């Protein structure tokens, strides 16, 4: 990844973290709000792979934790794993599939919601499971799915095709 591309992606993650904290979190419809930063991190994971996905997820999460004065590391941990999972999906079976962004965003939004709930529960936060896993998660899932394709297109425009390395020796058997 070139320095220019890294700078562009960093700016994208920073802007997404800012937009998420300042605006998107307040766009509550039906009990939940979309998570723009999560969608950006997933799309970066799909485009760049598991390690850059995890790194940008960690950095974006840290910005959110600093801005919201929340327990440091919580959002970083969730987004690190989200970026990593998205990257692994792309590295194994997902890349090149037209619906990969929707599949990844849908699955990882649910997993991140459940993981976030478990994490907060373990830290002793008073969180109601029905609210966190149904009332808030369902509208967030719909919002994230609506954002998936436009954000993926934006990430594709930010990270050029030449930046996506394809040097693996892995093969798949098609019957």
Partner 1 sequence: MTVRRIPTTQLGSRGAGALRRRLAVGVLVLLSLVLISLSFRSGDDGPLTGVQSAGSTVLRPFAVGFERVAQPFRDAYGWVDSLFGARSDAERLRAEVQELRQRAIQSEFALQENDYLRRLLRYLDGPRFPSEFESVAAEVIGRPPGAFAQAIVIAAGSRNGVRVNDPVVTADGLVGLVTYVTLGTARIQLLTDQEAAVSAVDLRSSAPGIVLHARGTRETLVFDRVRKQEVIRVGDEIVTAGWRAGSLSSLYPKGIPIGEVTSVGQTDTDLFQQVQIDPYVDFGSLDAVLVLVPAERRR
Name residues contacting partner 1, limited to 81-140 (CB under 8 A). 81, 84, 87, 90-93, 95-96, 113, 116-117, 120, 123, 125-128, 130-132, 135-137, 140
Which residues neighbour 144 within 8 Å (Cβ) at sequence distance 6 or greater?
Answer: 34, 35, 38, 39, 105, 106, 109
* Shorter beta-carbon distance to partner 1: residue 20 or 108: 20
Distance between CA 156 and CA 47 in Å, rounded?
A: 7
When binding is defined by CB under 8 A, the residue of 20, 41, 82, 155 that contacts partner 1 is: 20
Question: Stretches 2-10, 28-36, 100-108, 146-154: which one binds partner 1 (CB under 8 A)?
Answer: 28-36
Binders of partner 1: how many residues, by CB under 8 A? 78
- 144 binds partner 1 per the rule CB under 8 A: no
* Shorter beta-carbon distance to partner 1: residue 115 or 149: 115
* Shorter beta-carbon distance to partner 1: residue 8 or 24: 24
* Shorter beta-carbon distance to partner 1: residue 5 or 135: 135
Written as six digits, the tokens of 53 are 């996905």
What is the widest separation between alpha-carbon atoms in the chain?
Answer: 53
**Residues pairing with 29 in the sheet:** 32
User: Per CB under 8 A, which of residues 32..91 are in contact with partner 1?
Assistant: 32-33, 35, 37-38, 48-51, 54-55, 58, 61, 63-77, 80-81, 84, 87, 90-91
CB 44, CB 53: distance < 8 Å = yes
At closest approach, how far in Å is the CB of 4 from partner 1? 19
- Residue 38: in which H helix or E strand, if any? helix 36-48
Burial (0-12, 13-18, 19+ Cβ within 10 Å), 20: buried
């Amino acid at each position: 990844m070139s320095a220019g591309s890294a700078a562009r992606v960093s700016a994208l993650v920073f802007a997404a973290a800012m937009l998420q904290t300042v605006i998107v979190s307040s766009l509550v419809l039906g009990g939940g709000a979309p998570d723009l930063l999560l969608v950006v991190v997933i799309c970066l994971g799909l485009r760049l792979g598991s390690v850059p996905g995890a790194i940008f997820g960690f950095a974006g999460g840290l910005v959110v934790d600093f801005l919201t004065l929340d327990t440091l590391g919580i959002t970083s941990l969730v987004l690190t794993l989200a970026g990593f999972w998205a990257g692994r999906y792309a590295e194994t079976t997902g890349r090149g599939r037209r619906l990969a962004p929707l599949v990844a965003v849908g699955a990882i939004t649910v997993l991140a919601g459940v993981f976030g709930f478990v994490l907060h529960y373990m830290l002793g936060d008073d969180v109601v499971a029905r609210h966190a896993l149904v009332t808030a998660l369902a509208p967030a899932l719909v919002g994230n799915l609506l954002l998936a394709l436009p954000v993926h297109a934006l990430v594709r425009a930010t990270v050029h095709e030449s930046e996506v390395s394809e040097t693996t020796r892995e093969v798949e058997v098609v019957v």
